[in-house]
Structure 1
Amino acid sequence: MLPHTGGAHGYDVLLRTAHADAESAGVLATLFTAFTLTFTVVAASIARLVRRFRWAALALAGNGVTTVFGVLAIWARQSLAPTGTVAGPSIGLYLGAVAALLSTVLWARVVFTRPPEQPGPARRS
Structure 2
Amino acid sequence: MGRILAIDYGTKRTGIAVTDEMQIIASGLTTVDTKDLLRFLQDYISTETVDKFVVGLPKQMNNMASESEVYIQKFLVQLEKAIPQIPVNRVDERFTSKMAMQTMIASGLKKKQRKNKALVDEISATLILQSYLDSVH
TM-score by length of 2: 0.29
Instruction: From the two aligned structures, give the one with the greater strand fraction.
Output: 2
Instruction: From the two aligned structures, give the one with the greater helix fraction.
Output: 1
TM-score by length of 1: 0.31
Give the structure with higher Rg (CA).
1
> Higher relative contact order at CA 8 Å, sep ≥6: structure 1 or structure 2?
2
